[in-house]
Chain A
Amino acid sequence: MTTTAAGKGTLGTRTMRMNIGPQHPATHGTLHLEVEVDGEIVTNCRPHIGYLHTGFEKLAEYRSYNQFIPLSDRLNYLSSLNNNIGFALAVEELLGIEITPRCRVLRVLLAELGRIGDHVISVGLQAMDLGAFSIMLWTFVEREKLYDIFETVSGGRLTTSWTRIGGLSRDITDDFVPLVRKFVEYFPGVLDEIEKMLNRNRIFTKRTIGVGRMSKEEAVSHGVTGPLLRASGVAYDVRRARPYLGYDKYDFEIPTHPDGDVWARYRVRMAEMRQSIRIIEQALENIPAGPVTALDTKFALPDKFSVYNDMEALIHHFKLIMHGHGFQPVPGEIYSCTESPNGELGWFIVSDGTRNPYRLRCRPPSFINYTAFPKMVEGAMISDMVAVMASMNVIAGELDR
């Protein structure tokens, strides 16, 4: 940290300008804050971002739609499955194709598991930043178990690249359902345990209740979505407001909290994980049989086994993969969004009728949520700033793209 004198504050003392980050353990990624402090009170906060800018949107213009899927993993790397699914849905909406019922249910299953994986880490890191280190270790154990499940479906643990346009890279294996059932059975117990550790923990409650307040109006004006918006008392969830993947058929609630502080965000995330478990239980009961990929649409990649054993599939594969080929959506522009763990993950795609997107914009929930951060911390203590930042779950990969 470097400090420089800058201007006069109260009590004849001088305010100080201080840099926190880009390398700082409390920022969980390359975030850089330039704060002006009067003693321990933050009087002005200017976040500097872009340290992890990778140019995904530019790269996308030089890749076909399926080739972008591995890049989508790297946006919010805590929930790559949700990014894969959101992107595939956006392109399918542009193409106007339907996916198979089995694919739809599997995507719901994995999206909810991905949401749990993101929220559980977010809660764990939030607790760690406030001194409860053991919670972080517990939540990482849970995430490893989720990663085992992701590995059985996609082969990857962190970067899954699981979806394909019009389907999935592969069907689930036989051990998937028992693994998920086992997880669903014992995971609520883990949530209870975390709540036992935190809910009546005086350090945790004192450092979260009333800290980093954001009103309903402020949240809406800043375009804040996801758990942060719901913690400010707005029951808005894209899964309800703009149902996709048949979410309107599932029975779940949208947890909200009226306070809009760090505590409220913790409570909302915990409640959302319980709702995700409910959705998973319903989806597990009803996994339809049939193919995972809508082959008849001519847009989806056939699976490897049929490519080697079936002439039709080989032709499809050739027409989609070989240089100069690939599916070509009609020219047009769409905006499609899904509820990712951090909020509304939107895709604005401009197609010029070629195999690459002409323009691909990712609406990053972290970036837009982060715009409200300076307002939340001005007037707070430096230590509260850490609590607020942890509660926002800002992921640098998605923030800077």
Chain B
Amino acid sequence: MNANHPVVARFRERFAADVLSVEEFRGQTVISVKAPRAVEMLKSLRDDAECPFDMLTDLTAADYLRLDAPERFAVVYQLLSMLRNERLRVKAYVSEARPEIGSVSSLWGNANWLEREVWDLYGIRFLGHPDPRRILMPDDYEGHPLRKDYPLKGRGERSHFPKYTAEEAP
């Protein structure tokens, strides 16, 4: 989808105050927005009369710690309209101080797990999420490993793993 598509124009008009930019790269359009009204925006895209983005292809995040970006984190929504065969990417920027954004788990069925994954790996909270647990890492894990300031080697989780000796065995 190109950046001049009517859906994008309508979206820009309706949410002018919250749209940071609309860019096109290699034929793909990405709309960058501020986080607070993200759920409302995504709902308007999902329920668009002409080009409804009925499938949330993917939901992920990126940590822009070392890049020039409006905020440190962005939650990235890859949308697909089955009817029009159009794809659109929405990036909602989330600040480091308050890493939180509304949950879209009521809009798409798969958002529940995908948001749990983003919480698990990036530490971004999804407000109104029905089941805000970790999903890939163990429940008692500390830290969010896909953040850029999290070392590749880990923070000594392996060496601090609880050990049991023969005497302690039940």
Contacts and interface: CB of A to CB of B under 8 A. Distances in A.
Q: Do A and B belong to a common assembly?
A: yes
Interface of A: 49-50, 53, 55, 57-59, 61-62, 93-94, 96, 218, 220-224, 234, 236, 241-242, 332-335, 337, 344, 346, 348, 350, 352, 358-359, 361, 363, 367-368, 370-372, 375, 400-401
Given A359-B63, A363-B58, A371-B109, A346 B26 contact: no
A58 B26 contact: no
B48 to A, nearest CB: 15
A371 B87 contact: no
Interface stretch (B2-10, B14-22, B132-140): B132-140
B145 A58 contact: yes
B66 interface: yes
A58 B146 contact: yes
B26 A220 contact: no
Given A221-B108, A361-B58, A371-B112, A50 B137 contact: yes
B64 to A, nearest CB: 8
Contact of B28 (A220, A234, A334): A334
A58 B152 contact: yes
A358 B57 CA distance: 21
Interface of B: 25-26, 28, 30, 54-58, 60, 62-63, 66-67, 76, 78, 82, 85, 87, 89, 108-110, 112-114, 121, 134-138, 145-146, 152
Contact of B25 (A61, A333, A346): A333
Closest 10 CB pairs of A and B: A50-B136, A222-B109, A223-B110, A221-B109, A371-B110, A363-B58, A53-B136, A359-B62, A361-B60, A222-B110
Contacts of B146: 57-58
Contacts of A49: 135-136
A223 B56 contact: yes
A220 B152 CA distance: 36
Contacts of B112: 371
B82 A236 contact: yes
B3 to A, nearest CB: 14
B60 A348 contact: yes
B60 A55 contact: no
Given A57-B146, A358-B67, A371-B110, A335 B87 contact: yes
Given A53-B136, A220-B82, A223-B56, 14 more contacts: A93-B26, A220-B54, A220-B55, A223-B55, A223-B109, A224-B110, A236-B82, A241-B85, A332-B25, A333-B25, A335-B89, A346-B58, A358-B66, A363-B57
B57 A346 contact: yes
Given A223-B56, A363-B78, A335 B28 contact: yes
Contacts of B55: 220-221, 223
30 contacts: A50-B135, A53-B136, A57-B146, A59-B152, A220-B54, A220-B55, A220-B82, A221-B108, A221-B109, A223-B56, A223-B109, A332-B25, A334-B25, A334-B26, A334-B28, A335-B58, A337-B57, A352-B66, A358-B66, A359-B63, A361-B60, A361-B76, A367-B113, A368-B110, A368-B113, A371-B109, A371-B113, A371-B114, A372-B109, A372-B110
Contacts of B56: 223
Nearest to A57: B146
Given A57-B146, A220-B54, A361-B60, A348 B76 contact: yes
A229 B26 CA distance: 28
Given A96-B26, A335-B28, A350 B136 contact: no
Nearest to B108: A221
Contact of B138 (A50, A218, A346, A375): A50
A344 B56 CA distance: 12
Contacts of A332: 25-26
Given A49-B136, A334-B26, A223 B82 contact: no
Nearest to A216: B82
B77 to A, nearest CB: 11
A372 B135 CA distance: 15
Contacts of B87: 242, 335
Contacts of A350: 62
A222 B60 contact: no
Contacts of B134: 50
